[in-house]
């Protein structure tokens, strides 16, 4: 190692600094000068010092910045997964929440990965809103020096599926950045497509020199600023493996004659180790209304008793329709698959016109589709078109400090007429009509990092309560 050579220091100045001031003043001066020096750019250091800190035989691993925009933590989990995989391949990573990421930094990045969900009707999560607006605006710089890949999280029951990820992907390309890997759009079961995205990315990225020369097992460090709320909890129960929560009590909240139908529900979380904070949501896996199952069987002229295999398990077809698949919401993907299979020109025309598609999907369920566009299909064929039952998220309406081991919800029953037929929301009427005290309901806690009470309970807050309406 070469010893850094310093330019000669003015001896008079040194004498005055060491003899004049008191010991305390000298200590203060040394701290002051150190702070001043550390604000200077590294580039002003003599080259010999820079070289001694970056020996050529041990190059720094290349850096990838992994950014996430998340509402309930799914995108953050996916981003953390990417970070862990990249680190084992020898990449140095910088994980950041878009909420905290300074926009001006983007210009100096070499490679970024962006994992982002879509909220509202095709909008970015609140935490990514500012970054999104900036990137879409004319303030965004040219990004020719940047390489990127986007993983989009969403839900196929929304018409604007993964819209925010799509917007980011297109915008980064338009600004001149180079796409490392194709964007992956993930439905509610996001784990497998996220893993596929990471694996593809690892193939598309160059192998870092440090990994090629020696095996690296860097420890994963989350450098993102966060209140830590997304950190994995102790509970073994989650979205993939929900807890069977017993219903403790159920009370109608509306007076006689009210046009509303709102329920207060109390569930036991005892033994689950599940914990939550105000602002979090409870995910529920509902069962479809039996009347809707009957309508589907009738419309498609299928046999509910027939044994079918679904997800590797054999069970009566009616059971699958009741518990395993989405029936009360029609999705664009289902319509696409049904149009392709039936080769129906009218459905294809609806799909080709975004306004007609939006109108068609609004309020219709699977039975409506089968009635309006009948086709001779088997039980197995119908199952190919249907989407796995996604959970419904309800804002939690209790505080664990007041009700430890319990979680309460306020749920408005969704019932409406469509083409003179009664229609019902699957989860809200499941809770309102088909669950009684002591019945078990599969639940999990969906955390929300961004809607939290201030830690200091002296802080003034304004509370706005949109939602159920009692």
Ligand X SMILES: Cc1cc2nc3c(=O)[nH]c(=O)nc-3n(C[C@H](O)[C@H](O)[C@H](O)COP(=O)(O)O)c2cc1C
Site for ligand X, rule CB under 6 A: 70-75, 117-122, 125, 153-155, 158, 160-163, 188, 190, 393
Shortest separation between residue 210's beta carbon and ligand X, angstroms: 31
3-state secondary structure of 266: strand
Helix, strand, or coil (residue 196) = helix
Structure tokens at 368: 């409506």
The nearest distance, CB 446 to ligand X, in angstroms, is 7
Closest to ligand X by CB, 61 or 442: 442
158 vs 403, beta carbon nearer ligand X: 158
Nearest distance, CB of residue 254 and ligand X, angstroms? 24
What is d(CA 470, CA 17) in angstroms, rounded to the nearest whole number? 75
Nearer to ligand X, 161 or 444 (CB): 161
10 Å CB burial of residue 441 (0-12, 13-18, 19+) is: buried
CB of 159 to ligand X, least distance (A): 7
**Which pair of structure tokens corresponds to residue 120?**
């509202």
Residues 6+ apart with CB under 8 A from 176: 142, 143, 144, 146
For ligand X, the closer of residues 91 and 161 by Cβ is 161
Least distance from ligand X to the Cβ atom of residue 118, Å: 4
* Minimum distance from residue 392 beta carbon to ligand X (Å): 9
| Integer CA distances (angstroms), 28 to 21, 34, 38, 191, in order | 10, 10, 16, 54
Specify the residue, 126 or 175, whose C-beta has the smaller distance to ligand X.
Answer: 126
Given a contact cutoff of 8 angstroms between Cβ atoms, the answer to whether 389 and 325 are in contact is yes
The residue number whose beta carbon is nearest to ligand X equals: 154
Given the complex with ligand X, which of 159 and 315 has the nearer CB atom?
A: 159
CB-based contacts of 29, cutoff 8 Å, min separation 6 = 17, 21
Beta-strand relationship, 243-252 and 415-418? unpaired
Residue 37 Cβ, how far from ligand X at the closest point, in Å?
Answer: 42
Q: Quote the radius of gyration of the chain (alpha carbons, Å).
A: 29
- Alpha-carbon distance of 288 to 322, in angstroms, equals 5
Pick between residue 197 and residue 310 the one whose CB is nearest to ligand X: 197
């Amino acid at each position: 190692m070469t010893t850094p050579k310093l330019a000669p220091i003015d001896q008079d100045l040194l004498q005055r600094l060491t003899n004049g001031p008191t010991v305390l003043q000298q200590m203060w001066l040394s701290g002051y000068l150190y702070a001043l020096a550390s604000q200077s750019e590294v580039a002003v250091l003599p080259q010999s010092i820079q070289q001694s800190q970056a020996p050529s035989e041990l190059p720094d691993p290349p850096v990838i910045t992994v950014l996430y925009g998340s509402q309930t933590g799914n995108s953050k989990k996916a981003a953390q997964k990417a970070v862990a995989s990249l680190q084992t391949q020898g990449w140095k990573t910088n994980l950041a929440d878009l909420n905290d990421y300074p926009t001006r930094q983007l210009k100096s990045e070499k490679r970024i990965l962006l994992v982002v969900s879509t909220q509202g009707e095709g909008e970015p999560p609140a935490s990514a809103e500012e970054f999104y607006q900036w990137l879409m605006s004319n303030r965004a710089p040219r990004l020719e020096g940047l390489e990127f890949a986007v993983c989009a999280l969403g839900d196929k029951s929304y018409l604007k599926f993964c819209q925010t990820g799509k917007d980011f992907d297109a915008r980064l390309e338009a600004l001149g950045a180079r796409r490392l890997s194709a964007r992956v759009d993930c439905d509610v079961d996001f784990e497998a497509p996220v893993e596929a995205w990471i694996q593809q990315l690892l193939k598309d990225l160059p192998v870092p020199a440090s990994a090629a020369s020696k095996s690296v097992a860097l420890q994963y460090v989350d450098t993102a600023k966060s209140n830590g709320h997304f950190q994995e909890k102790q509970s073994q129960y989650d979205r993939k493996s929900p807890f069977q929560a017993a219903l403790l009590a159920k009370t109608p909240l509306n007076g006689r004659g009210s046009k509303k139908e709102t329920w207060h529900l109390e569930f036991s979380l005892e033994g689950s180790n599940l914990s939550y904070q105000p602002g979090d949501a409870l995910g529920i896996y509902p069962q479809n209304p039996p009347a809707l199952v009957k309508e589907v069987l009738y419309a498609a002229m299928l046999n509910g008793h027939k044994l079918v295999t679904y997800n590797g398990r054999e069970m009566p077809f009616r059971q699958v329709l009741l518990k395993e698949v989405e029936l009360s919401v029609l999705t664009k993907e289902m319509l696409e698959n049904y149009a392709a299979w039936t080769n129906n020109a009218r459905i294809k025309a609806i799909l080709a016109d975004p306004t007609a598609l939006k109108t068609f999907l609004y309020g219709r369920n699977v039975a409506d589709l089968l009635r309006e566009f009948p086709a001779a299909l088997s039980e197995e064929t119908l199952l190919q078109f249907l989407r796995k039952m996604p959970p419904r998220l309800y804002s939690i309406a209790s505080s664990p400090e007041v009700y430890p081991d319990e979680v309460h919800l306020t749920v408005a029953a969704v019932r409406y007429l469509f083409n003179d037929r009664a229609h019902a929301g699957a989860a809200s009427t499941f809770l309102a009509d088909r669950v009684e005290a002591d019945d078990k309901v599969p639940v999990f806690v969906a955390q929300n990092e961004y809607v939290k009470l201030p830690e200091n309970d002296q802080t003034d807050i304004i509370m706005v309560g949109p939602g159920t309406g009692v």
